[in-house]
Amino acid sequence: MKDIILRKEEETDEKYGYYPEKRTIKELIINGIVNLDKPKGPTSHQVTHWVKKIFGLKKAGHGGTLDPAVTGVLPIALENSTKISKIFLKSKKEYICLMHLHSDIHEGKIRDAMKNFVGKIKQIPPRRSNVKKVEREREIHYIDFLEKEGRDVLFKVGCERGTYVRRLCEQIGKMAKTRAHMLELRRTRAGGFSEKERLVTLQDLEDAYHFWKEENNEKFLRYCIQPLEVVTNKLPKIWILDSAIDSICKGAKLAVPGVSKVERNVKKGELVAIMSLKNELVALGIAEMSSEGISKAEKGIAASLDRVIMKVGVYPEWKN
């Protein structure tokens, strides 16, 4: 359990808001995220449109574009959850790649070549990409050699968003004194979402929605849709009093008197999750004080707002 500093102990009013895991299905759908297994063929935009159509929503957004030929983890934010897409758009990514060598190269030489690309690297986007073809710096966190069969090499790579694995294959080949190209690619992780945790297909979503609408069975849909709060798992948190929520939803900065408790890892200037006492995400903010500062101060601004997530009116307006 994370280390939490209690500033002011207070109960939350059960009449307002929802504990994320107790939201109604209708509330969950518009405040949820789907960890989708993108199939090979359609674009990320097309897949997102299909998800939106299944649920009859006006808005949906995906967490980082995958090329049509690439499969795997594609987080899709539903309706109100699109406000937090920036969190997983900026997150680290992990891929499993099958690379083909154009000549016979010893395994040890490939391993040695891969080691040269861990850390900061320079890349020019591939010709087929839709971004400006200028050199840019990206960070490779790790490259794990998995296996080699003939001229085909399987490896896992963890990298900064915007890294081109297709280009990385070419760079590894050049370092090994040959040519290489990407055969297949699958994303296995995007931020806090992985293929091992509630990854679902488009068919799963259609079936789950059918079971709910036609048979009043919520079980499968609750498995497919995760509360938007899952994206805050790695963010430092500040919990606020019920009486402070409405003003935050209307755009006010978070004042110290409205804070109930704070995680000890909050640092000034960093992105924080501003939470209700029911663990609902109220807003994303930028800390104006450290954890210790917030716990000791009697007044002042604890955090300015980056993005308000909760709608106005979920909690009542505070009155003196």
Instruction: Please tell me the distance from the alpha carbon of residue 235 to that of residue 255, in angstroms, as a whole number.
Output: 20
Instruction: Please tell me the distance from the alpha carbon of residue 186 to that of residue 272, in angstroms, as a whole number.
Output: 31
Report residue 67 as tokens: 């090329």
User: Maximum Cα–Cα distance for the chain, whole Å?
Assistant: 77
**CA 113 to the chain's CA centroid:** 31
Ranges of beta strands (E only) in 39-163 are 60-62, 71-78, 93-101, 119-123, 136-149, 152-159
3 is catalytic: no
Instruction: Please tell me the distance from the alpha carbon of residue 198 to that of residue 109, in angstroms, as a whole number.
Output: 38
Residue 253: CB atoms within 10 A of its CB come to 16
C-alpha neighbours within 13 Å on the C-beta side of residue 38: 32
**Residues in Cβ contact with 48 at an 8 Å cutoff, skipping those fewer than 6 apart:** 60, 61, 62, 76
Residue 116: CB atoms within 10 A of its CB come to 14
Instruction: Please tell me the distance from the alpha carbon of residue 73 to that of residue 66, in angstroms, as a whole number.
Output: 9
Catalytic residue, chosen from 37, 67, 204, 242, is 67
What phi and psi values does residue 253 have, to the nearest 5 degrees? -70, 155
Catalytic positions, written as ranges: 67
